[in-house]
Amino acid sequence: MITDIDRKPAVHDQVLVEAELDGKRVSFRAVAVNVMPTAIWLGLVRPQPELEQLRRDLPLQLTFRRDNTGMIAASSFIGHLGASHVGLFAVSWPDDLKLIQRRAHLRLDAQCPVEYTVASQCATESPGQIGDGVCCNLCAGGVQFVVRAGTDETVAVGDELDLRVALGRDAVVLAEAVVVRVDDAAIMNLGPDEPVRLGAAGPRSLIAVRFESISDVDQDRIVRYIFSIQRQSREGPSKTT
């Protein structure tokens, strides 16, 4: 049962903050440190230089992580708390808070670039480690992708990642995710077309992640992308060129 308290932001909530800077979407992983009647104070989980570019009244989208549900809402930037490099800032009390229920999602094979940054480590020794790969399949709840590295050289189960997934030419999806599985791609049945851009030589790992925080807008982007692939497949290559 969802109570009124569950529908309100609270101290210690994990929050994904999204903004647009110079035409590029950026995201910040933050934690609520103070909740007031008209504003919420947030602190970055790790330093990000883009924070210094945020200016008063810049529109933001907030996604609050909860166990079985999440909340999304529109907000705006109020200002830095102290020096901007400290990572503390205030946002306006969010408008139109909406609960989102986690549910099963349609998963489809897809090939698109994936970039990640390790935000919180479980077994890896390199928080802040960055990497990239090629998506094998995705849904609105997670993604599986292959990277050019051995299983002992990449991320580990339990690591938290900041993901950037490019869908087509223009759409980019930003999400917080947790690694749920890491396999040796050489012993997995990836099919004759995999991996597309990583080449056949050298060790490869297959990484599966579950989205922990993603905006409703980006989930819709994924769903539309999946449907477009299905439609193109039904129509055939002559109608998609």
Q: Which helix (H) or strand (E) holds 229?
A: helix 216-235
- Write down the pTM of the prediction: 0.61
Place of tokens 């919180």: 120
Percent residues over pLDDT 90 in the chain: 30
The pLDDT of residue 233 is above 70: no
* Residue 120 banded pLDDT, cuts 50, 70, 90: confident
State mean pLDDT over 156-179: 88
Q: How far is CA 229 from CA 83, 223, 225, in A?
A: 46, 10, 6
Indicate if the pLDDT at residue 146 is higher than 90. yes
